[in-house]
Amino acid sequence: MKLEGKVAVVTGAASGMGKAIAELYAQEGAKVLLADYNFEGAEVVAKGIAATGGTAKALKVNVAELADVDNMIDTAVSEFGTLDILVNNAGIMDGFEPVGDITDERWDQIFDVNTKGVMRAMRKAIPLFLEKEKGIIINVASTGGFSGAHAGAAYGASKHAVIGLTKNTGFMYAQKGIRCNAIAPGAVETNIGSSMKGINEFGMSRAGLTHSLSPRAGKPEEIAQAAMFLASDDSSFVNGAVITVDGGWTAAF
């Protein structure tokens, strides 16, 4: 039970990688707050965790809304007494638009969810972690966070920003008992594609040149194993790092 007695918040926990991370954390003894805009889906996951002896609570959260993010952290503390682990997993895709075709509306939407939501959750959690002199932040970035060819301009830029935020935070609070790391998944079998609207044919044709090199799509459970490593004491000397989990895709270039 590597997370016995720990309290974790996982965003985007109703499906995909977030669901797999939350279930694994609960299996390893953590009490988990399942935050997702899809409250019904999060409730199903929470009931499944409870049915196997775990502890979880579902909460409707729009990570693009400041009040929701603040309430998310407050609810974890009020429900479970503290916060030990924050997993910023929620995210949305763009439509593969290159910079010449991106609209202000799409740019702002992507950044509000993928970047500002991450920053706000971290900002809210940091005072709690400083008081405890211990805390773990795990940001789910993307191979698109260090590559320019895995999505459109907005998604790629938003995930590059998450990696920069992760590294800065890991360094800034390294002597305060706080560790902040990122996971960069490659292609994974999730429903993030449902957030893609109005696919840009030119952008997709360019990104497709690298997508064809991916050895295979990963399983959400494979990403969850990386999240478990980063949440446990097994990674006690890992901080400000980006762990790539892509089956060897980006090893090609």
Catalytic annotation, residues:
155
How many CA atoms lie within 13 Å of 239's alpha carbon, on the beta-carbon side? 18
3-state secondary structure 126-138: HHHHHHHCCEEEE
What type of residue is 140? V
Give CA 215 to chain center in angstroms: 23
3-state secondary structure 14-39: CCHHHHHHHHHHHHCCCEEEEEECCH
Tokens of 208: 């497709």
For residue 136, give the nearest of 173, 175, 180 by alpha carbon.
180
For residue 49, give the nearest of 103, 10, 77, 85 by alpha carbon.
10
Contact 135, 125 (CB under 8 A): yes
Question: Would you put residue 131 in left (φ > 0), alpha (ψ -120 to 50) or beta?
Answer: alpha
Residue 108: how many other CB atoms lie within 10 Å:
13
